[in-house]
Structure 1
């Protein structure tokens, strides 16, 4: 119970803390979405909560494996809500080196809020990391030629912060505290994510933002639909890829708020020719310094 609980609480979570509960009946680990009738969640918050539940499932699988058992993950259907998913223990099986490294990465995974080094992530390494994302969720690496249209979309999403009340708390999702942002025309090392969430005329032009995004490797996670099971599966894929990145010496952080704006999501699908609904964007790279 201690090993599984430690794996669960170390999963990335949302602004509302840990929006899930964990039960361990017999040889199962059940993750339930926490629904508080006194504090109803917006549709955007509910999607983020379900992504968090999926991340918990991914960590529980590694917890079961290091204990010497095989594990089978079942994502709950719409009708089974508030159940998000179940990790079932099947038979005895010694953990592999991959399992041990993955479980070790759980405690080392943090959200990287700062800029990345200019050292690029090798394409073959990125391909191996992407393959570690399990399930039916597509993990699509953004190509250099797509950075400018993506930057334009992020600008448009930033404008929505001032026009849509639900996005007033967007700065939390960008992992940037507004009080920490200082404007300097000569600054060379600004995080592009900090610039995008600024209000007023200081949001950079798309070309400028695209140039700064070149230091980052961006991955878009998309599923066939935006149903509850697909959102949970996005969380499973997110955590699997994140832990694989940590094992390889990379750092990462995630972004979901821009994709909750319908017109931004539709334009992103068209601009990047995505085969499904984008659920989150992950930025990866080597930590600066």
Structure 2
């Protein structure tokens, strides 16, 4: 029989894993409540991007990734995670509850994914010229499908050019919108920051990388000399990597959460094989561009994430808030 202290230790360990999930601009838009053997995962709506993400779609994808980390940690610790998404219509900020179920024995795949939770990093540049094999791309798609979500590798050069052009167009529009620009700058962190959230200065290159076709990146430094620099002898990477689009049949809050779960599963699998991902959400934040991608490129499915995956020599920095800021325990 499990003691209260054992349950508390297991649940807190799972929450420690949850906070390592990726989130848009590293906003970490979540909080956790613990009551006995149940964890409530809540949206921290004060961290939602008001102009970039008015509907909260990206916020829920971020929280879904945290849910996946939490359930993965519980399974690795030997407990069957009992997950209930959107459990209470009267409490819209309560996005999921996870309770400890019966004992399970984690398989090697589960342990492999769990081992990457704190190692996974978001990349914000080009990749070295190492081709991602077709069978590995298919394996990534299978990981997403395990969560009921589609990951479509974009294999045609014309398809890559279209997505790159849409990303650049959206980036240009947002760069000239003062509200969008200030929202990005709000989450940019200077060197030596003591904050535990946002995008740190060592998380992107000092001089923006360019790929062919060129996928625009967010400008977090904005006239500051921030970012990591490469050795003068280092070859500047220029490969876009494997371009892929994650999509769902519908566009509900539950599907946004499931997209986040699938995203994190894909990212952890990729990380275990030395592959990292760069995200491009710009075109999906403008209604008409997102609709164009849905209708013209995805046969009516709703795009939830555009990403590039590849190999990089850099080890980008990251930040995380302490548990004391995100967790509330029942006395």
TM bin (shorter chain):
0.7 to 0.9
Specify whether residues 10 and 40 from structure 1 end up closer, same or farther in structure 2 by C-alpha distance, changes over 3 A only: closer
Distance in 2, matches of 1:102 and 1:82, equals 28
1:157 — aligned with what? 170
Distance in 2, matches of 1:40 and 1:219, equals 24
TM-score by length of 1: 0.81
Distance in 2, matches of 1:143 and 1:68, equals 39
Q: 2:210 aligns with which of 172, 178, 190?
A: 190
Specify whether residues 261 and 166 from structure 1 end up closer, same or farther in structure 2 by C-alpha distance, changes over 3 A only: farther
Distance in 2, matches of 1:70 and 1:77, equals 18
2:19 — aligned with what? 9
1:101 — aligned with what? 112
Is the CA contact 2:248–2:259 (under 8 Å) kept in the aligned structure 1?
yes
Q: 1:58 aligns with which of 65, 68, 74?
A: 68
2:53 — aligned with what? 44
Distance in 1, matches of 2:88 and 2:288, equals 26
2:300 — aligned with what? 275
Specify whether residues 155 and 16 from structure 1 end up closer, same or farther in structure 2 by C-alpha distance, changes over 3 A only: closer
Distance in 2, matches of 1:213 and 1:230, equals 34
Specify whether residues 170 and 258 from structure 1 end up closer, same or farther in structure 2 by C-alpha distance, changes over 3 A only: farther
Deviation at 1:195, TM superposition (A): 6.7
Distance in 2, matches of 1:27 and 1:252, equals 34
Q: Does structure 1 residue 83 correspond to structure 2 residue 94?
A: yes
Specify whether residues 263 and 19 from structure 1 end up closer, same or farther in structure 2 by C-alpha distance, changes over 3 A only: same
Is the CA contact 2:116–2:271 (under 8 Å) kept in the aligned structure 1?
yes
Is the CA contact 1:113–1:176 (under 8 Å) kept in the aligned structure 2?
no
Distance in 2, matches of 1:155 and 1:213, equals 16
TM-score by length of 2: 0.71
1:257 — aligned with what? 282
Q: Which has the higher helix share?
A: 1
1:286 — aligned with what? 311
CA offset digits 1:124-146 (Å, max 9, x no partner):
01111221123232211112231
3-state SS of paired residue (1:283): strand
Q: Does structure 1 residue 123 correspond to structure 2 residue 144?
A: no
CA offset digits 1:67-88 (Å, max 9, x no partner):
1111233221682411111223
CA offset digits 1:185-227 (Å, max 9, x no partner):
xxxx63534578699xxxxxxxxxxxx9864112211122332
Distance in 2, matches of 1:151 and 1:99, equals 34
Q: Which runs of 5+ in 2 are unaligned?
A: 1-10, 189-198, 223-236, 315-331
Deviation at 1:2, TM superposition (A): 3.5
Distance in 2, matches of 1:166 and 1:231, equals 25
Specify whether residues 3 and 136 from structure 1 end up closer, same or farther in structure 2 by C-alpha distance, changes over 3 A only: same
Distance in 1, matches of 2:268 and 2:99, equals 21
Q: Does structure 1 residue 147 correspond to structure 2 residue 160?
A: yes
Is the CA contact 1:259–1:279 (under 8 Å) kept in the aligned structure 2?
yes
3-state SS of paired residue (2:300): coil
Deviation at 1:36, TM superposition (A): 3.3
Q: 2:34 aligns with which of 24, 29, 33?
A: 24
Q: Which runs of 5+ in 1 are unaligned?
A: 183-188, 200-211
